[in-house]
């Protein structure tokens, strides 16, 4: 299910362009428009899921994490290392309510403190 007012659902539908780095039947990954490091990719499910808290979505959450490994290999950052982030809610700075992993790397990252 895709939502008409969701930016990431629009990207999945091709209504908004993206720089795709990986796709399969369940997952889409594309470059973040405002990267915080040399590699900054967003990995999203191709169904609209708002948050991580629902056990019924456990399979797709696993797919996101496993895909991150595959994408890290594809982008040649698997050996050098990377960070995976999920922002949740206002204090974390979440702006898009369609669950997504940030895959960040390609250079040494600042400590998360
Ligand atoms: P959040 O803060 O919700 O975890 O992260 C949302 C991310 O989506 C941000 O890092 C932001 O730069 C990215 N973003 C917002 N709009 C677009 C867009 O239209 N295209 C792409 N590729 N990334 C976007
Ligand atoms: Zn959506």
Question: What CATH number is associated with residue 29?
Answer: 3.30.428.10
Closest listed ligand to the CA of 45: 2
Domain containing 85 equals 7-105
- CB-CB neighbours of 21 under 10 Å: 17
What pLDDT, on a 0 to 100 scale, did the predictor assign at position 59?
94
Name the domain count of the chain: 1
pLDDT at 54 over 90: no
C-alpha to C-alpha distance for 41 and 74, rounded to whole angstroms: 12
Mean pLDDT of the chain: 95
Does 46 fall in a domain? yes
- What is the pLDDT averaged over residues 82-110? 96
What pLDDT, on a 0 to 100 scale, did the predictor assign at position 82?
98
Higher pLDDT, 33 or 50: 33
Residue 33 has phi, psi (to 5 degrees) of -70, -20
Does 87 fall in a domain? yes
Reported as a pLDDT band with limits 50, 70 and 90, residue 90 is very high
Q: Please identify which residue in the block is written with the tokens 């659902």.
A: 9
Question: Strand, helix or coil at 30?
Answer: strand
Give the distance (Å) from ligand 2 centre to CA of residue 5.
8
Does 95 fall in a domain? yes
Give the distance (Å) from ligand 2 centre to CA of residue 69.
23
Reported as a pLDDT band with limits 50, 70 and 90, residue 51 is confident
**For ligand 1, atom 15: residue with the closest CA:** 33
Kindly report the pTM of this predicted structure: 0.96
Does 112 fall in a domain? no
- What is the pLDDT averaged over residues 29-56? 94
């Amino acid at each position: 299910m895709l939502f008409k007012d969701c930016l990431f659902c629009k990207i999945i539908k091709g209504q908004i362009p993206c720089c795709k780095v990986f796709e399969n039947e369940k997952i889409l990954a594309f470059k973040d428009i405002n990267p915080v490091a040399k590699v900054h990719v967003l990995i999203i499910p191709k169904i609209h899921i708002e948050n991580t808290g629902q056990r019924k979505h456990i399979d797709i959450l696993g797919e996101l994490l496993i895909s991150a490994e595959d994408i890290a290999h594809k982008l040649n950052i698997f050996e050098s290392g990377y960070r995976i982030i999920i922002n949740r809610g206002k204090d974390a700075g979440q702006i898009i309510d369609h669950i997504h992993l940030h895959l960040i790397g390609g250079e040494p990252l600042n400590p998360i403190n």
